[in-house]
Amino acid sequence: MNEEDNPFLLQGYAGADTFCDRADEVAALREAMANQRNVTIISLRRLGKTALIRHFFANQRRFTPIFTDLYRTTNQEEMVQRIVQEAVRQVGKPTGNLLKEVARAMRSMEFNLSMDPITGLPELGVSVRPGRKQAIALDELFSFLEQQRKPVVVALDEFQQITEYPEKNTEALLREQVQRLRNVQFIFSGSDRRMLQAIFADGKRPFFQATEPLYLGPIPDEAYSAFITRHFKAAGRRIDPAVVQEGLSWCRSHTYYVQYLFNRLWSTGFRKVATLDLERTKASILKERAPEYMTLQRLLSPNQAALLTAIAKEGRVQMPTAMDFVQRHRLSALSTVRQSLGVLVEKELVYQAEGTYGVTDVFLGHWLAEV
């Protein structure tokens, strides 16, 4: 990458140089795919699930990768269209001959090839033929992929979106395909950890224990520290080691917040970044987000807001319903605290991990702790 480019990306994937660590997770994915075990990546929001998949796909040649983001899909037809479009792109260049081959294999689909007026590149249009069932289209799609020379790995990102479809049999249809395929493996991931766990851990649902869970935690501080220092040094700049350690601690080593903080520190353009620069940047971030956080507070009930603030002030809380915690922060009755805690967890404002509770948005937690 260009030395002037900001290496601390907040979205997308720009190659291995701007991707930090995750060597163990990449190895786990490689081993699982090689041995025909499907995987579900589970983590808190913004810990880098999508970037991990793209990094894994970018650094292999053994299989054909198909990455499909289901976030904006609203029904089964749109899901099928997305997967088919990406599958055709990855299997080969979208030429007339390829489309004929695909059309013969997927008779439930209609294909057309046009030229993008802006880029001048071929653009593939896909739709399900009127009156054809999605189950048939799915069967044709995965049968086509099953027949490819190279193994295929399909990554379905934001997989929890299928629970919002009007068709309530989507999980069952996909599970049926997953169970029968030998040449096609799957990676599932999404931003709603609770919903993903419900899909794959509920014994009454089709995907119960159908995949191997891969729990994504924070990147180790040593790896992140080396990554940050390396990029500053490569650009002929210096960042105080104390700034790196304090920044990681302030962000709780959570990928998005680390990337955001050091993106801001990089953008100052200073040849040397010192502790004072870090403090000013932290204060600026919280000041900028204050209106958003004040609005959020007003949308909560007084009891919910009080509990959220209490958790933020302590950082991590083992038992928010413990009497000493309730009394120390002058919260309401235990029954109300329990109810408020349930709402905050459901809204994903609070998360539970390793036996403790914390505020999901790291910056919100700092802002609440200071007000």
- 334: CATH: 1.10.10.10
Q: How confident is the model at residue 356, as a pLDDT?
A: 94
* Domain closes at, from 164, 189, 215: 215
Which H or E run includes 282? helix 275-299
Total domains present in the chain: 2
User: What's the pTM?
Assistant: 0.89
In terms of domains, do 209 and 84 share one? yes
What does the pLDDT look like over 10-58, one tens digit per residue? 998 999 999 999 999 999 999 999 999 999 999 988 999 999 999 999 9
In terms of domains, do 326 and 197 share one? no
Q: Is residue 93 pLDDT above 70, yes or no?
A: no
Count of residues making up the chain: 371
Question: Which of these ranges, 94-108, 161-175, 200-214, has the smallest mean pLDDT?
Answer: 94-108
Domain that holds residue 135: 22-215
In terms of domains, do 164 and 304 share one? no
In terms of domains, do 208 and 312 share one? no
* Domain closes at, from 215, 233, 263: 215
**Structural domain contains residue 271:** no
**Structural domain contains residue 345:** yes
**Structural domain contains residue 49:** yes
Interatomic CA distance for residues 102 and 153, integer angstroms: 18
CATH number of the domain encompassing residue 92 = 3.40.50.300
Query: Could you give the C-alpha distances from 366 to 12, 288, 355, in angstroms and in order?
Result: 27, 13, 21
* Domain closes at, from 171, 188, 215: 215
What does the pLDDT look like over 104-135, one tens digit per residue? 877 777 776 666 666 665 566 676 666 557 78
Interatomic CA distance for residues 79 and 71, integer angstroms: 10
Contact 154, 146 (CB under 8 A): no
Give the closest residue to 251 by CA, choosing from 280, 226, 223, 221.
221
